[in-house]
Amino acid sequence: MRAIFYSITLGMAVSGCAQVEGLFGPSRGVDAPQSAAPAPGQTHPEARPDAAAPPSGARTAEDFDTTSEEERSAARSAARAGAVDLGVTIASLGAPGEPGFWLKTPLVDAPGKGRVDYPAKGTSAAVDLIPLDAARGAGSQMSLSAMRLIEADLTGLPEIRVFRLSE
């Protein structure tokens, strides 16, 4: 009975090794994967030329959030007229190194201006809406600046309502 137990345990351990192969660099005899070209019609966000990148030694949320007080004030006072309700989504923190107020979401299929409302705190922010290639219910990614502005927990998954603003 012991021999069977040890055989099964050893088999599980060895099979686990195959799953982590390549995590710490390319495996032997296999070329590193090349990045795929975007599919026709697929949009990808581009960095705003006027946006300040976080400093190389950034460690805290304040370090990464390079938006000015004027930009935060403008995002707080988002226009409410002509807003189209796109629905509710769960947001996670997007790439902290990408400055600005944005939301990558499957709720839109074209870039545009929008607003997010965070009912739990009664806060809102104007954001750039960026299409996210995912299923509609997959959730969204929000910029650090926008998460801070709506007072959401940076490690949480806030439920937000998304609106497209008429331009």
Domain containing residue 151: CATH number: 2.40.40.10
Predicted confidence (pLDDT) at residue 117 exceeds the cutoff of 60: yes
Model confidence pLDDT, tens digit, residues 53-106: 777 777 777 777 777 777 767 666 654 557 899 999 999 999 999 999 999 999
Task: Residue 159: give the domain boundaries.
Answer: 82-164
Q: Indicate the pTM of the whole model.
A: 0.58
Per-residue pLDDT, 114: 95
Beta-sheet pairing, 159-164 with 84-93: antiparallel
Predicted confidence (pLDDT) at residue 109 exceeds the cutoff of 90: yes
Q: Assign 35 a pLDDT band (cuts: 50, 70, 90).
A: very low
Number of folded domains that form the chain? 1
Per-residue pLDDT, 23: 46
On whether residue 58 sits in a domain, the answer given is no
Instruction: Name the one residue in this structure whose structure tokens are 């949320």.
Output: 61
What are the backbone dihedrals phi and psi of residue 84, each rounded to the nearest 5 degrees, phi first? -105, 120
On whether residue 133 sits in a domain, the answer given is yes
- Work out the average pLDDT over 120-139: 93
Give the DSSP per-residue string, 9-70: HHHHHHHHHHHHTTTTSPPTT-PPPPPPPPPTT-------TTSPPPPTT--SHHHH----HH
On whether residue 108 sits in a domain, the answer given is yes
**Choice among 33-47, 54-68, 133-147 with the minimum mean pLDDT:** 33-47
Beta-sheet pairing, 123-131 with 112-118: antiparallel
Helix ranges (DSSP H) in 29-142 = 61-64, 69-76
Could you give the 3-state DSSP secondary structure of residue 72? helix
On whether residue 97 sits in a domain, the answer given is yes
Rounded CA gap, 89 and 105, in Å?
8
